[in-house]
Every structure is written in C-alpha cells, then in structure tokens.
Amino acid sequence: MTVEDREITRPRAQATRPDVRLERVTKRFDDVVAVDDVSLAVEHGSFFAMLGPSGCGKTTTLRMIGGFEQPTAGAIYLGDREVTGLPPYRRDVNTVFQSYALFPHLSIFENVAFGLRRKGLRGVQLRGRVERILELVELGGYGRRKPRQLSGGQQQRVALARALVLKPSVLLLDEPLGALDAKLRKYLQADLHALQREVGITFIYVTHDQEEALTMSDRLAVMDDGRVAQVGSPTEVYEQPATAYVADFLGVANLVAATGEHGSNGRRQVHLGDFLLDAVGDGPAGPVKLVIRPERVRVSPGEPSGPNCVPAMVERVVYVGATTQVHVRLPGGEAIQALTANHDGRPEWPAGTPVGVTLPADALRALPA
C-alpha cells in the first residue's frame, strides 16, 4: 500500500477521545422543540446510528453536527474543538444525503473530483486520489460515465466517494439508502459497513430502519420526541431495552401488563394474572410492562410444565419461510407471539389448541409502566 493509499484508508482509532460530542443540545423552531437537551459522545472510528420514527429529532441532530442548523442551546464539539455556530465549510465533516445531488452534466470522475478542485488540487495528485477512491467503492473504470448511466446503488457509491475523497474526520449519512429497493438496500448495508471498516472514518448514520441500525452500527441511539431514549450497542439495546418505547420500536416485542414486586440485583418477581414469574429488572413494586422477544418465547403442546411456564391457547399459526409465527392468548386475555425456526417442519396447531408457553426469566424484562 502506498502513502497515498494510507491517506484514504487511514488506520482505525488509537485515540480514545470522541470524534463528536454533544453537550445538552436543544433546538427549537418557534414553539416546537425538535431536539430536547441531548448529550451524546461518538467514539473515533466507530459506526454510530441514530434511530427513530419521523419527527423524533434525529435528522435535526445530524444537521446541527454538520452545521446546517445551529442549536438554540448547548455545545457541539468535533474532537477537542467546539464548532457551535460555525458554518459547514469550517467543520471537518462531510454529508451524504438521501438525494445524492450528483451533477448530471459532469462525469463520475468530475463529480468525485469537484471538492478536490475547489481545494486547489490538480494534475496527477488529483487523478490519483479520485481513481483510488473509485476503486475503493468498486467503481473503478466508471469515471467517464454520467450519473444517468448508473444504477441507484452505483449513484449512491459515487456520492460516498465524493464525500470520502476529501478525507473528513466524520462522515454524516442522512438515510442514504432510503431511495433504493429492499433487496439492494440489504446488499448495500453490508457493503457500507465494510467500507467504514476499511477507511476507519467515523460514520454517523440516521435511519428509521431498525434492521439497518442493528446490522451496521457499533453503537446506536434510539430517539423519542427529541430526546435520547437509550444509547448502547445493538445487542444491549435490543436485548436490554431501557423502556417499553425502545422495546416496541426496535424490532418485534411482546408487551404485557403485569404487577411487579420490589427487585434488587437485577432480579424480581412479577404477577401475570394468577401466575408468579421470575423476571429481569430492578425497581419498585407496582405496575410494570413485561417485555420478551418472540424468538425467546417457547411453545409446547399440552399442559404447562417447568419454571415460568403458563397455559395458553393457539389463535393462529403463520408460516413465514424459515420461521413460523405462533400467536397465542394467555389466560388473562393477553396476546403474544412466538417465533420458531422451521428446522423439522412447521408446527401444525389448529386454532384452539391448548399449549404451554415458557417465558425464560433471563429474557423476560420488567420495565416501568
């Protein structure tokens, strides 16, 4: 690898300081609070996702990091430098939007070279930088084509190349796969994650797609109504949701009302109707929401047996290819679903079949109601 190659595919972090830090950032538009007292730290060389429904404040937060919006209150740092109030061109970041905004009259080469030319780069050095980044995004040999001659996925790669060729310390991505079909999005999710690993640049990725956030990010923030509901690794946020909102938004979750006894050391007991179950979670006694993922629910025919097993009645069975959804009704009227892998054929249980439903204690979380 040459010196110039190392400039683009820079090594991953040795420093531990955050590349981006938000301290109590708030953004108001007239009477509307779009971002409400948000504090975040994004580590150097990481892939960080901001996830949430439309209107939750994730894109506004990204735009404030990029300098396209200014916070009403709070401070934004890039590395050790406060950039609050600075315009985009004075921040060492670049942005890829859902609309790729390629210049239709310019070739792919010139689209990627545009920012370098504005910085005064010319000749062999410019050509080398552009050709190397096009190879990196698997578009080597496409330099003479125009954007209209490329597919949507290839245009997305051009937009990435144009942003990465400037070697920003942070790359901001605002739902860049949103305009692509589902199959291509899935393919490019893995592609984008591999690219981030190769270049070692910090990516901050905004999406409303839970699968994108789970499969690509090192850490993610789930946002709700302008606030950060939870930050953690995909595994932590999915398996240990802090609130019922996070559990319900991130993937599929069974949410059941129950009454909890006082818990300590992460363990507690809960009353689900007439049944006393073991669960995970601290907190005071009183109303709780029980959360369990469908893939952790076990359904067996006949009478319930074993710890944390309750009787139920099958309502319907839905075949979805590699797995089967089993929808059951608990004695108190609560509806939950289990997801079983079709290793040895799908379960054939007609509606009304009595079954036992096991809710493993380590997978059953009691959250404040």
pLDDT at residue 16, rounded to an integer:
63
Query: Do the bridges between strand 202-207 and strand 47-51 make them parallel or antiparallel, or are there none, so unpaired?
Result: parallel
Dist CA 334 CA 257 (whole Å): 8
CATH topology classification for 252-368: OB fold (Dihydrolipoamide Acetyltransferase, E2P) (2.40.50)
pTM above 0.75, yes or no: yes
**CB neighbours of 75 closer than 8 A, spacing ≥ 6?**
22, 23, 24, 25, 82, 84
Burial of residue 85, with CB atoms counted within 10 A of its CB: 0-12 exposed, 13-18 middle, 19 or more buried: exposed
* Alpha-carbon separation of residue 197 from 15, 44, 299 (angstroms): 16, 12, 40
CA angle 362, 40, 170 (to 5 degrees): 115
Q: Give pLDDT, residue 191.
A: 81
Q: The tokens 């609050």 sit on which residue?
A: 84
CATH architecture of 3-239: 3-Layer(aba) Sandwich (3.40)
Residue for token digits 């860049």? Answer: 176
Query: What are the backbone angles phi and psi of residue 207, rounded to the nearest 5°?
Result: -155, 155
| Listed residue (160, 172, 158) closest to 110, CA to CA | 158
Domain ranges of the chain: 3-239, 252-368
Question: Per-residue confidence of the chain (369 residues) as pLDDT tens digits?
Answer: 333 443 454 444 444 679 999 999 999 999 999 999 999 999 999 999 999 999 999 999 999 999 999 999 999 999 999 999 999 999 999 999 878 789 999 999 999 999 999 888 889 999 999 999 999 888 999 999 999 999 888 898 899 899 999 989 999 999 888 767 777 777 778 888 888 888 899 999 999 989 889 989 999 999 999 999 999 999 999 999 999 999 999 888 999 999 998 777 778 899 999 999 999 987 778 999 999 999 999 999 888 888 999 999 999 999 888 899 999 999 989 999 999 988 777 788 899 999 999 999 999 999 987
